[in-house]
């Protein structure tokens, strides 16, 4: 896996110094609140740029086609993606698919191969998705979510500017920090976890637990800590991918319009204690004892004495965030259960049957009054 260079504004200037023209992908809100220093810096260095902003929050293949069309009209030395996961994922898709032209997505998605060597610089404007640290991207084709993956999609460099987080609405701050925390937790127990991924996840959790209250209180000196935690969480899932919590959460966002991290937190709050009670169904090759040790380690990282207390502390954090809890109809439960991606489930260390998933969705509603 490649190495990402972490940049400050000073090192960014050196990094882009050889470039003549760059292609910037940036949503309108980030353009207004986060880009002035970066654009000033490029102008002062005589680097010209074009900005592409015509993409949706859940980027589609049509969005990427528009970006590729613009990108193909000129010679660019680098792509700079500024924003949350969406802008960074569009940047990754432009890099991956620009040599293949537009349209014919059926075939392009079948034979994902990145040949383009153009550097990709990511500047995250939230602290959550971790897209700046992963070699995969999410894109919607004909309304269906597709995950594209290639090691070349890992950004070459990441520029952190904590000031970008100050203008985020509180709900978005809560949801993104819970997404990053969810990445750390799921990565930690994933069947693909390694010593290294666990270390990324542990450090991410420790930073979030120490700083999240101040961060949500608007103490801006914690912003870059949160960006670092989200980046580490991204590095962790880049090794392990996410597990059942994310697999269960995706449909909640489309059915109820919840932010992704909100949906993940609702699912993890019921999933974690259920997993501790069901280690007999362990499917991690390292065995049940190893998995129970992992739950104990997670509890210790959360400052708790035993596994269940760790899960409960997490539940209290989610409760403290006061997120809306949906009421599901029986039909909703069926739709939600059918939506769960089996591939993500296969990363989970405990096998979930259909009835387990249904019961967990019902369990989400029991937390309504908290
Ligand atoms: Fe996530």
What is the CATH classification number for the domain harbouring 234?
Answer: 1.20.1090.10
The CATH number of residue 29's host domain is 3.40.50.1970
Query: What kind and span of H or E run contains 81?
Result: strand 78-83
How far does the centroid of ligand 1 lie from the alpha carbon of residue 76, in Å?
31
Residue 146 has pLDDT above 50, yes or no: yes
Tell me how many helices (H) and strands (E) the chain has. Answer: 16, 8
Quote the domain boundaries for residue 254: 169-369
CA–CA gap between residue 156 and residue 152 (Å, rounded): 9
User: Exposed e or buried b for every residue in 249-276, given b needs 16+ CB within 10 A?
Assistant: bbbbbeebebbbbbbbbbbbbbbbbbbb
Residues with CB under 5 A from ligand 1 (ion): 179
What is the pLDDT, as a whole number, of residue 135?
Answer: 94
- CA 280 and chain centroid, separation: 30
Between 112 and 276, the higher pLDDT residue: 276
Last residue of a domain, one of 163, 195, 218: 163
Q: What is the pLDDT of residues 242-254, one digit of tens each?
A: 999 999 998 898 8
How far does the centroid of ligand 1 lie from the alpha carbon of residue 177, in Å?
10
Last residue of a domain, one of 163, 179, 213: 163
Residue 1 has pLDDT above 70, yes or no: no
**Does one domain contain both 74 and 196?**
no
**Does one domain contain both 192 and 321?**
yes
**Does one domain contain both 196 and 343?**
yes
How far does the centroid of ligand 1 lie from the alpha carbon of residue 355, in Å?
24
Quick one: average pLDDT of 114-119?
Answer: 78
pLDDT mean across residues, the chain: 92
- List the one residue out of 84, 51, 88 whose CA is nearest residue 167: 84
Give the pLDDT band (50/70/90) at residue 103: low
How far does the centroid of ligand 1 lie from the alpha carbon of residue 142, in Å?
22
Length of the chain measured in residues: 370
How far does the centroid of ligand 1 lie from the alpha carbon of residue 173, in Å?
14
Q: What is the pLDDT of residues 311-336, one digit of tens each?
A: 999 999 999 999 999 888 899 999 99
- pTM for the full model? 0.93
Q: What is the pLDDT of residues 259-313, one digit of tens each?
A: 999 999 999 999 999 999 999 999 999 999 999 999 999 999 999 999 999 999 9
**Does one domain contain both 152 and 293?**
no
Last residue of a domain, one of 134, 163, 192: 163
How far does the centroid of ligand 1 lie from the alpha carbon of residue 130, in Å?
8
What is the pLDDT, as a whole number, of residue 369?
Answer: 42
How far does the centroid of ligand 1 lie from the alpha carbon of residue 174, in Å?
13
């Amino acid at each position: 896996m490649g190495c990402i260079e972490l940049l400050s504004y000073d090192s960014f200037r050196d990094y882009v110094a050889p470039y003549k023209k760059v292609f910037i992908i940036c949503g309108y809100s980030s353009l207004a609140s986060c880009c002035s220093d970066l654009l000033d810096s490029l102008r002062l260095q005589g680097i010209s740029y074009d900005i592409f902003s015509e993409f949706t929050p859940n980027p589609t293949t049509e969005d990427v086609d528009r970006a590729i069309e613009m990108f193909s009209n000129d010679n660019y030395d680098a792509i700079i993606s500024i924003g949350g996961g969406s802008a960074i994922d569009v940047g990754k898709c432009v890099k991956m698919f620009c040599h293949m032209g537009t349209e014919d997505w059926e075939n392009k998605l079948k034979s994902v191969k990145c040949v383009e060597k153009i550097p990709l610089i990511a500047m995250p404007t939230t602290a959550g998705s971790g897209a700046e640290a992963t070699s995969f991207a999410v894109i919607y084709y004909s309304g269906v979510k597709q995950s594209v993956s290639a090691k070349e999609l890992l950004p070459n460099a990441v520029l952190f500017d904590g000031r970008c987080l100050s203008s985020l609405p509180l709900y978005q701050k809560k949801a993104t920090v819970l997404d990053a925390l969810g990445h750390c937790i799921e990565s930690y127990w994933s069947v693909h976890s390694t010593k290294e991924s666990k270390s990324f996840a542990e450090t991410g959790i420790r930073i979030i637990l120490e700083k999240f209250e101040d961060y949500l209180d608007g103490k801006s000196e914690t912003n870059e800590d949160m960006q670092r935690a989200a980046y580490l969480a991204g590095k962790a899932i880049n090794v392990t991918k996410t597990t059942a919590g994310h697999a269960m959460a995706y449909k909640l966002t489309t059915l109820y319009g919840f932010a992704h991290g909100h949906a993940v937190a609702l699912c993890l709050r019921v999933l974690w204690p259920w997993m501790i009670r069901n280690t007999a169904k362990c499917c991690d090759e390292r065995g049940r004892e190893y998995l129970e040790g992992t739950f104990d380690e997670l509890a210790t990282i959360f400052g708790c004495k035993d596994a269940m207390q760790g899960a409960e502390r997490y539940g209290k954090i989610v409760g403290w965030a006061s997120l809306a809890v949906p009421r599901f109809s029986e039909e909703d439960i069926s739709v939600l259960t059918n939506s769960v991606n089996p591939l993500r489930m296969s990363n989970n260390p405990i096998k979930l049957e259909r009835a387990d998933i249904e019961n967990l969705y019902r369990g989400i509603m029991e937390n309504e009054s908290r």
